[in-house]
Amino acid sequence: MTKNKENLIQFRYVERLSITVILITLSVDLMLIYWKGAQIDWYAYAKLSGLCLLIIAGGIVYRVIDRSERIASTLICSGLLVAFSMVLALFNYLLLPVSAPFIDVYIAKADAILGFHWPDIMIWASKHPIISVILKISYMSTMAQLSILIALLGLTGRRQQMDVLLLTVIISATIAICFWGLFPSSGAMSVHNLPAEIEMAVAPVVGQEYGAELRRIATEGPGVIAPYEIRGLIGFPSYHASLAFVALFASFAIKRVFPIFLILNLLILPATLIHGGHHLLDLFAGFLLFWGTWMVAKYMIQKNATMENLPQIVAA
């Protein structure tokens, strides 16, 4: 396809779709802020918004001057991911306080039927401190993995795989937060009482004190909402597990780094139980959420590629 100035300044399909979702979510956020009289740290949000716009603007400049479409797509995708995460996380907090009953008791009963008892895995982790530390590092690597993958996929010209990653995150996160708003959950630590010496030995990322604060925020409201104060509220389905599967499947397109991502994300699954305080059923639900939205995103990208006579996606 011959490039011209008109084509260069246009956003690609997934970029237009992402911008639309971001603007709709932002509009809903502003209406909820006005309706609820929510307290917002506008200065903090302005700084983060400025960063997003700066990254996206950098991508637009690269596209307009036709310097490097790979860099342009990577920058725009990165900026849109940060912007989407910001407005959707704000939406999640604006749903607070939740009035629906928490469903953790029922999830814990389902875990018991499957033979899983959360305190048992915490006791095991307390006896294997080195493994627990390794799992903690892997658990905290998720967002860094996504950032690295966007850069690798974009800069190596795998734009369609990068688009699938971005669209999967957008669809899955939206579904997860809307589901949580209707059926809130806060994890296994809200059902089970863990002995203090066990928790001290494991030092989980999401400990019982942290979990209690999440539960308080969910039931009483967040107070002043600021981007640097926002925490992950979703218990079921485990969105951490969903993102691990996103990173794993997206990395398959880059054979040289795939083994690293494979190991990291296989470690994240048990780490989500230990350091995320999740029920076992949260992980299964997280996988189903990922798989369904991944297939939808892949279909949408491939269908658009067919309409625009672009190469089809080869990787899984």
Per-residue model confidence as pLDDT tens digits over 132-141? 999 999 999 9
Predicted local distance difference test score (pLDDT) of residue 295: 96
Predicted local distance difference test score (pLDDT) of residue 316: 41
150 close to 65: Cβ distance less than 8 angstroms: no
Predicted local distance difference test score (pLDDT) of residue 47: 94
Residue with tokens 């690295």, as numbered in its chain: 148
Predicted local distance difference test score (pLDDT) of residue 310: 58
Give 176-195 pLDDT, tens digit per residue: 999 998 999 988 888 888 88
String of DSSP letters for the chain: ----HHHHTSPPHHHHHHHHHHHHHHHHHHHHHHHHT-EE-HHHHHHHHHHHHHHHHHHHHHHHTTS-HHHHHHHHHHHHHHHHHHHHHHHHHHTPSP-SPP-HHHHHHHHHHTT--HHHHHHHHHT-HHHHHHHHHHHTTHHHHHHHHHHHHHHTT-HHHHHHHHHHHHHHHHHHHHHHHHS----GGGTS---HHHHHHH--SS-HHHHHHHHHHHHH--SEE-TTT------SS-HHHHHHHHHHHHHTTSTTTHHHHHHHHHHHHHHHHHTS---HHHHHHHHHHHHHHHHHHHHHHHHHHHHTTPPPP---
The parts of the chain modelled with pLDDT lower than 70 are 1-9, 308-316
Predicted local distance difference test score (pLDDT) of residue 65: 87
Predicted local distance difference test score (pLDDT) of residue 79: 95
Predicted local distance difference test score (pLDDT) of residue 135: 95
Predicted local distance difference test score (pLDDT) of residue 9: 65
pTM of the model: 0.88
Output the CA angle 17-19-25, nearest 5 degrees: 105
Predicted local distance difference test score (pLDDT) of residue 5: 47
